[in-house]
């Protein structure tokens, strides 16, 4: 006795997947392409990185350090926080450069505006500034970290991979 299963649909409505190995490979290729598109778009993990840095001695004992943060993803991200660790300083202020700072970094304004969360569009650059007054010879800055909210709503902490900077302080 032989059993047959029919769907009751005409033959032109049935999906012929062909050989199971070919179907499996096509599924894996489709999944890989979808994951590459998600990664490229920055939907889950954006391409936010440091694209430059600089420093300025203000002559009043304070020193200003800047780092450019670029969103290399096509989707915008919200910058919700920044941390820039310091050691051996009397005071440290952290903020952003004014909006008239040139995108290419040719002119950086060292005016310190207070940090407030903002949206960094795809391909845009923002400059973060820290102004420190060193207390001793061994003062230093660590590597800054930004907290971003991705287009998918996830919070990510991204290390900007800036080398630690020695701050010139008063030495006995």
Q: What pLDDT digit, counting tens, does each position of 64-89 carry?
A: 888 888 888 888 899 999 998 888 78
Q: What pLDDT digit, counting tens, does each position of 7-22 carry?
A: 565 656 655 666 788 8
CA dihedral 8, 11, 13, 15 (to 10 degrees): 110
Q: Specify the CATH class of 48-166 in words.
A: mainly beta
pLDDT of residue 78: 92
Domain range list for the chain: 14-41, 48-166
Cα-based distances in Å from 23 to 68, 146, 168: 47, 43, 64
Residue 4: pLDDT over 60: no
Instruction: Give the residues across from 132 on adjacent strands.
Output: 63, 92
pLDDT band at 105 (very low <50, low <70, confident <90, very high): low
pLDDT of residue 6: 57
Mean pLDDT of 2-9: 57
Contacts of residue 120, Cβ cutoff 8 Å, sequence gap at least 6: 48, 69, 71, 76, 77, 78, 79, 126, 148
**Distance from chain centroid for Cα 42:** 9
pLDDT of residue 147: 93
């Amino acid at each position: 006795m032989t059993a047959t299963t029919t769907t009751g649909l005409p033959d032109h409505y049935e999906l012929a997947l062909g050989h199971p190995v070919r179907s499996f490979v096509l599924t894996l290729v489709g999944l890989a392409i979808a994951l590459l598109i998600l990664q490229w778009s920055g939907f889950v993990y954006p391409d936010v990185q440091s694209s430059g840095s600089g420093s300025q001695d203000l002559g009043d004992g304070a020193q200003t350090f800047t780092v450019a943060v670029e969103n290399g993803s096509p989707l915008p991200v919200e910058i919700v926080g920044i941390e820039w660790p310091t050691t051996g300083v009397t005071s440290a202020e952290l903020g952003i450069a004014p909006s008239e700072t040139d995108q290419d970094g040719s002119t950086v304004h060292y005016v310190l505006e207070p940090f407030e969360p903002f949206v960094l569009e795809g391909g845009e650059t923002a400059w973060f500034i820290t102004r420190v007054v060193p207390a001793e010879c061994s003062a230093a800055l660590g590597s800054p970290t930004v907290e971003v909210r991705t287009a998918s709503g996830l919070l990510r902490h991204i290390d900007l991979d800036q080398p630690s900077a020695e701050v010139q302080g008063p030495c006995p």
